[in-house]
Structure 1
Amino acid sequence: MQQQVDLNTDSYGANKEENLLQDILNRYLPWWPLFAILVVISLTCAWIYLRYATPIYEASASLLIKDEKKGLDDSNLMESLNLFGSKKIVENEIEVLRSRSIAKEVVKNLRLYAPIIQEGRIHNLSAYEISPVWVEANNLDSIVPVKDASFKYDVNTGKIHFNDSTYSLNEWIRSPYGVIRFLANPYFKGGELNNPFHFSLISVRGSVAQLLGKLQVSASSKQSTVINLTYRDDVPQRAENILNELVAAYNRAAVNDKNLLASNTLAFVDERLKNVFGELDSVEHSLEHFRTKNRLVDISEQGKQFLSNVGTNDQKLGELNMQLAVLKQVETYVTSKEKKGAIVPSTLGVTDPVLSNLLEQLYALEMQYEKMKLTTAESNPLMLSISDQMAHLRPRILESIHNQIKSIEVGRKDVSNTNNQYSAMLQRLPNKERELLDISRQQSIKNSIYTFLLQKKEETALSYFSTVADSRVIDVAETDSHPVSPRKTMILAIAFGVALLLGAGYVEIKEMLNRNVMYRSEIEKYTRVPILGEVAFDQSNKPLVIAEGKRSFIAEQFRQLRTSLGYLGINSRKKKILLTSSVSGEGKSFITANLGVSLALIGKKVVIVELDLRKPKLSDAFNISRTKGISNYFIGDMEAEEIIKSTETSNLFLIPSGPIPPNPSELILNGRMAELLTYLESHFDYIIIDTAPVNPVTDAYIISPMCDATLFVMRHGYTPRFYLQKLDEQNRVRELKNMAIIFNGVKNKGYGNYGYGYGYGYGYTEEHETKQKSWKKYRKTNTQS
């Protein structure tokens, strides 16, 4: 057995990895016509698909977001004027850009809910740029969805023919789908309108879903504040418009969010100015009336000193009162639970940085909550998390407000005590002057408050009109000139791959259903018995395919097989070779006859023993009568030298089977077989024994111990795989001595000599040479004519 293993590794020493490609070629190249047809069909289908598929283009844009945690702020000048700015987090802004509220505004502004198509010969085309008009709905909420509503545009009159009526551009029309109108398309460049147009109306929800499905928003990197936006559409211009409008809508929303608090503050200041102005006007009228009535034009030096001392305190007291009013208003807002999601009231005059920061956090959470509420259910975990954050902020804000109120009350008390001390000076002045000072003091207080409010209004207005979005467009939307889908190379590659897979699948299924041995690799897979050689399929049906000077491919294979006998140790001392097979019809007699001829051609004296006493065939191959043969020898009727017959091939002899006996196995066991082999060894260089198949008889197992090597013939597409799989197991039970396999009947298909075996080639053969000569003769004859 060790010798067999060495043969398998030494004579054909390439390992499995090196033979993998060769195995694949051997398996599939015989089916190359099938693969060629499938590839042509598949590539044709791919070409048709590419010819009529709608190309999809990708537009891209980039946006820089100011983030306190990432990057740098490049708009400090404008931001310093903006008192109500808020910091951005890139991750949040990505969600805002993908929000349904922003997408809805884009759908509305670009009228994406009313796409227009033009009929084509194969399929309809988007008419975004080639349609002379667009369709606009008066009320998006009242749209009745419709598909393919037809209309016609008269180029000469500029009129629209729709629903059996004629309308002008910009004219509102009451249609079954809602109130609509047709607008001039700014991208229409004129030309003939041969094919009809249709428009569809899609619900806003559906349009938003379509937009978001084609939109991709992502940060360029983890530490970057740059957001990349991409959108895919079959119309490049529409893709660019959508991205540009999306960025514009996002910036408008960001500016509006900032201006909400500023607007609230302006409203608060205007209301206070109105009240203070009325009070100031009343005080000034009272002062003028008092001076006229009492003929007092000026105040004494002592009175002026009093006004100077108390004026500053009165201004402080007015500011403290206003701060107290603001804090009371904020406190009322924070303690009102039903106000969740509303806008934080004015924080004008709040000087505590801790309280300002807390209010800013609450404001940011309120804004985020309001945005998400448009697209997310309140039971969403993220919404609940924001609510929890606001709930935790409110107690801290209230605590800070109460501390501020206490501090302001203390300040008011100190200022009031100081003013009371100054008021004692008034007792020394005349009554009329005291009244004048009191009125003048009220005028000074109202005037200082009015001036303070005017200043705050100016600051707030400046902040309002200097508000900028917390983003900057780096790259406006631009579409690549090459479509991203369908990808021609990828589609063709897939088509080619599918063709190969279909072909391979067909081959595998066909061979899976075939239960016979098809490939040399199968033999190597299922058994450890070495393969001595391969013999190609012979279409001539001649029993002898090798002769002196014959150079055919199969003849060369028998010559190689003759050489390979040395690997089994066959030599002048070990010369007995047994041939058998698994079942009848595998070609063992064919191999026996031609192997014997091959050995005889090199001058060796060879005898072939026709020991298949059930179906003898060798006698017919050599045209020798089998009326007398080895069966006569077994029963003692004849001696060895009497049954040896010469053949037409020099040095080749045959012992025919003789009459077919009823008990072949018993005859073989009678002891005369060993005597015959001893005689033959002394007279011949090689003894080749053709015995019956091992299934179901035992002749080969009886003879094998008497021989030096056993050649087991298997035939391509004929030998049952079951016998191959059981060969090792059977050989362990009843061993065939020094066994090797010959793979017979290997069909040569495909290019070159590739087939079901290894397919060794030898250049052109005798048959090829004949064909080439005939072809050259044909060309020469036609050229001369």
Structure 2
Amino acid sequence: MNIIRKTDETSGNKDAGGHFIFKLLPYWPLFLVLLVVSLAGAWVYLQVTPQLFSAEAKILINERKGAEETSIQDPMSSTLSKKKSVDNEREVIVSSPIINQVVADLSLYASVYQNSFLASRIMYEDAPVKIAALDPKGIKPTKSKIEFTYSHSGILIDHKTYAFDKWHQMPYGTLMFRKNISARPSDQSKFAFTLTSPSKVASKIAGGLKVAEANKLSTILVVSILDENPKRAEDILNGVLLVYNKHAIDQYNLLAANTQNFINSRLMTVEKELLDIENKLQKYKSNNGAIDVGTQGKLYLENVSINDQKIGEINMQLSVLDQVENYVRSRDLTGGIVPSTAGINDPGLTQMVKDIYELQLNAESLRKTTGENNPAMVAYNDQINKIKPQILQNLRNQRNSLSASRNNLSGTTSTYSSALQSMPETERNLVDIQRQQQIKSGIYTFLLQKKEETALSYIANGSDSQIVSQAESSEFPVSPKRKMIYLAAIFGAGILGIAFVTAKDKMRRNVMFQHEIQSLTKLPVIAEISTNSSAKQIVIGSNQRTLIAEQFRSLRTTLHYIGMGKQNKRLMITSAISGEGKSFVASNLAVSLAMTGKRVALLDFDLNNPSLHHKFGVKQRTGISEYLQGKASMEDIFSNSIVNENLSLFLTGKLPVDPAELILNGKVEELFSNLAEEFDYLIIDVPPIGPVSDAYSIAPMCDATLFVIRHAYTPKVFIERIDDNIKLNNLPNPAIVFNAVSQRGYGKNNYGYGYGTGMVYGGSYDQKLIE
């Protein structure tokens, strides 16, 4: 017994997976059905699930500093430049105005489908018609697909024909159907289309559009999207990049145009003032004959002219500040032309003016599609209200500084004017007129220079971004992954099958597998006997090489491990309940031992329900009951078996009224001792230990015990009690025989054979001991 337990422990890990696999083998039809159903479900899923293709494009972003970070020596940069970074442009690319424009340009709000067996396939470049709406924002989305029939003259919807290239008033809006010349569908082909709100389509595209940096050190953005149609995915990406570049150019041109308009208006005013001064100078010279001035007058004139020019520049700057202040204080910043900050050497003010203008433009654009209480609108208004006080404070500071400078220059000019008073009045007046002329001429020249710079900026304006690669889609769909779906279906079928088998085993009350026996008791399973499919009760003979016969031969060999031999001859065979096959095992084991030339005595001590006489086909006669009562001798109850000459039968005889008390009268030990002198083995068939206590009374007189457990019959609860019964009743050298094991699974032709001839489930023994 110790040897078997040790072998069982050393091989337990290896056999744990083995008994689990053999437990699953009987259910191979279930696993096959689940596998077929799972694969069919995976196939249907792949048919009804739209395939998604990946497309990506790359764009280079030239990062640029804002006006406050650029040199004030560069007029165009200080007037028109705005900050541009990769992070900002990533958000601009997926902004609503750009996506909405792409949806409108590609008519993505209208989708055409072709019906198939399980699902509809979306069509794009192969669609028979292209659908356009006169007012995309005003279309009514369709609740379901609108089926139509294609013909060369138009499309047929609900028995009404709609011609190509004409606007048609329909329940969904004003639509036009254009024939796709690249697609050539057959006449009377059936298709379907749907109309979706452009904003909903744009929201879906924006959600699926991914913009990421190519790497941490580059300014290249990778724009990607997943779509059912690879060509449509490419067109969406190319359209997004095209609209993005156009949007950037439009923004630059708008700023340049506003600056140019402001300079033009100022030029007209200064030009008129300059003409008036020139006319005045001409009249004055004609009337007063003022041709030349003195050297001293020229010197004073130059000094005064320089001061006056500076005063004029200061006045112009103050005028610019006034216009900026009026613009900032106005309620609607987009109603007029944004004032230019030309001549103001404060890049911070220039940037703030442009920032508040751009914020107001974005707010006005958002107001067209959302309400005033939209979080984005509130955010824009908050930013505008924060920038306005900063601009006004800046204006006040600059105005105070310019006013102080002007007062200083005015004082200097007054000094020079006093000196000029000593000059002739005519010459002094001439100097005043010429001074005004020089001031206006300087302002006019300055504005002309700014005009040319702005014009050059307007012409040169272009996108700072460069498309590195146009959109390219993947050759094969990236979702769903067919291999992964089929693999998941296979694993799912296996998991469901295992779960079903495990749940079913958990709900069974009867023992089904050897590993269950080993988990319930410490006793070793020394043999496994297959189901007897024949009508014969004796299944072993000299010419029989069947599976069950070999299993009884294996059991015979295994008796050495429970101590059976020359000194220990008495083997008690019992079970937990009736019907487990203990008499069948006892009969065939006795025949197997007799076939080796050993003299074997088979005793039927089941004095309540004897069955050995049925197994050997003999009638009941005087037997053990009469011997125990003292009515017969050992020679009277002895009979030879016709199965084997070395086997002797001792039947029960007439059933007694009190078998338990009869066994305890002392005659049993006498019978066993006398038989042990004449026989090599005593095989004792006793009643089950569950219903009666006869087995416990006979056990002390035996050398070993075999418990017979029947497959799918013995309740597990009885096996759990075996160890406790052994401790309480001291049964000798107990072991288990697993009987009537069904042949099942792919290995049903040899299932159990390996376990009966060369190994015990969970352990092994020496093959040399067999036969």
TM-score (norm 2): 0.85
The equivalences for 1:533-552 within 5 A come to 533-552=527-546
| Superimposed CA distance per residue, residues 120-160 of structure 1 (whole angstroms, 9 cap, x where no aligned partner) | 566544332233432222222321223544666654xx666
2:199 paired residue number: 205
Q: Does 1:283 align with 2:277?
A: yes
Shift of 1:301: 4.4
5+ residue gaps in structure 2? 66-73, 759-771
Partner of 2:71: none
Aligned match of 2:97:
101
Tell whether the 8 Å contact from 1:520 to 1:758 is kept in structure 2 after alignment. Answer: no
Determine the C-alpha separation between the residues in 2 that align with 1:142 and 1:730: 88
Taking the TM superposition and a 5 Å limit, the aligned residue runs for 1:684-699 are 684-699=679-694
Q: Secondary structure at the match of 1:182?
A: strand
C-alpha contact (below 8 Å) 1:82/1:464 kept by paired residues: no
Q: Match of 1:428, SS? A: coil
* CA distance 1:167–1:578, shift in 2 (3 Å): closer
Instruction: Tell me which residue corresponds to 2:453.
Output: 459
CA distance 1:117–1:622, change in 2 (3 Å): closer
Could you tell me which residue of structure 1 aligns to residue 29 of structure 2?
33
Question: What is the aligned counterpart of 2:562 among 565, 568, 578?
Answer: 568
TM-superposed CA distance for 1:240, in Å, is 0.8
C-alpha contact (below 8 Å) 1:90/1:225 kept by paired residues = yes
Distance in 2, matches of 1:340 and 1:722, equals 89
* 1:179 partnered with 2:188: no
Describe the SS at the equivalent of 2:533: coil
Residue number in structure 2 paired with 1:414? 408
Tell me what 1:434 maps to: 428
Which letter maps to 2:166? E
Q: Secondary structure at the match of 2:468?
A: strand
- The residue type equivalent to 1:247 in the other structure is L
The residue number in structure 2 matching 1:632 is 626
The answer (yes or no) to whether the contact 1:26–1:754 under 8 Å persists in 2 is no
Shift of 1:108: 1.0
Question: Residue by residue, what CA displacement relative to the aligned partner does 1:222-249 show, whole Å, maximum 9, x if unpaired?
Answer: 6664433332223221111111112222
Tell me, yes or no, if the aligned pair for 1:160 and 1:166 is still in contact at 8 Å: yes
Aligned 8 A contact 1:266 1:460 in 2: yes
Change (3 A) 1:518 1:437: same
SS in 1 for 2:193: strand
Give, in angstroms, the shift of residue 539 of structure 1. 0.9
Q: Output one character per residue of 1:734-771: Cα deviation in whole Å (capped at 9) or x when no partner.
A: 454332222212222222358987954879xxxxxxxx
The unaligned stretches of length 5 or more in structure 1 are 70-77, 764-785
Q: Is contact 1:746–1:756 with CA below 8 Å preserved after alignment? A: no
The answer to whether the Cα contact below 8 Å between 1:592 and 1:690 also exists between their aligned partners in 2 is: yes
C-alpha displacement of 1:638: 2.6
Contact 1:81 1:462 in 2 (8 A): no
Quote the residue 1:668 is aligned against: 663
Q: Distance in 2 between matches of 1:346 and 1:560?
A: 108
Quote the residue 1:22 is aligned against. Answer: 18
Match of 1:61 in 2: 57
- The offset of 1:15, in angstroms, is 2.8
In 1, Cα distance between equivalents of 2:403 and 2:273: 24
Cα distance change on mapping 1:55 and 1:416 into 2, 3 Å: same
Contact 1:79–1:85 (CA<8 Å) still a contact in 2?
no
- How far off its partner does 1:402 sit? 3.9
* 1:140 alignment partner in structure 2: 136
Q: How does 1:135-534 map to 2 (within 5 A)?
A: 135-146=131-142, 147-149=144-146, 155=152, 170-183=165-178, 185=180, 188-190=182-184, 192-220=186-214, 225-297=219-291, 300-330=294-324, 346-352=340-346, 399-534=393-528
CA distance in 2, matches of 1:425, 1:347: 37
Offset from partner CA, 1:644-698 (integer Å, 9 cap, x none)? 4332224322322222223222222233223333333333332222222222322
**Residues 742 and 194 (structure 1), Cα distance of their counterparts in 2 relative to 1, 3 Å cut:** same
| 1:724 paired residue among 716, 719, 730 | 719
Give the conservation status (yes or no) of the 8 Å contact 2:334–2:361: no
> RMSD in angstroms over aligned alpha carbons?
3.9
Shift of residue 419, structure 1, vs aligned partner: 2.8
Contact 1:341 1:366 (8 Å CA) reproduced: no
Q: Point out the more displaced range, 578-587 or 138-147.
A: 138-147
Match of 1:769 in 2: none
CA distance in 1, matches of 2:348, 2:656: 118
CA deviation string 1:528-558 (max 9, x = no partner): 3222221122211322222224322222222
Distance 1:351 1:756 in 2: 99
Match of 2:690, SS state, is coil
Q: CA deviation at 1:478?
A: 1.0
2:672 maps to 677
- Over 3 Å counting, the alpha-carbon distance change for 1:112 and 1:681 in structure 2 is same
Separation (CA, whole Å) in 2 of partners of 1:316 and 1:129: 67
Greater mean alpha carbon deviation, residues 471-480 or residues 80-89? 80-89
Contact 1:86/1:364 (8 A) holds in 2? no
Return 327-336 or 538-547, whichever deviates more: 327-336
Distance between the aligned counterparts of 1:370 and 1:555, measured in 2? 97
**AA matched with 1:580:** T
Question: 1:8, 1:531 within 8 Å by CA — same for their partners in 2?
Answer: no
The match for 1:593 among 567, 587, 591 is 587
**Contact 1:254/1:469 (8 A) holds in 2:** yes
Query: Cα deviation per residue 1:46-66 (whole Å; 9 max; x = unaligned)?
Result: 445556765432222233445
Contact 1:334 1:394 in 2 (8 A): yes
Compute the displacement of 1:340 (Å): 12
Residue of structure 2 in register with 1:128 after alignment: 124
Aligned to 1:611: 605
- Contact 1:151–1:161 (8 Å) recurs in 2: yes
Gap change, CA 1:752 and 1:637, over 3 Å in 2 = same
My pick for the range that moved more, 101-110 or 487-496, is 487-496
* Cα distance in 2 for residues equivalent to 1:218 and 1:23: 53
What is the deviation of 1:110? 0.8
Equivalent residue letter for 2:96: R
Deviation at 1:195, TM superposition (A): 0.6
1:7 is aligned to: 4
**Counterpart in the other structure of 2:710:** 715
Shift in CA distance, 120/757, structure 1 to aligned 2, threshold 3 Å: same
* C-alpha displacement of 1:280: 2.4
Q: Distance in 1 between matches of 2:87 and 2:723?
A: 68
Cα distance in 2 for residues equivalent to 1:486 and 1:498: 17
Q: How many residues align?
A: 748
Match of 1:72 in 2: none
SS in 2 for 1:228: strand
Cα contact 1:173–1:180 (8 A) shared by 2: yes
| Distance in structure 2 (CA, Å) of the matches to 1:626 and 1:376 | 104
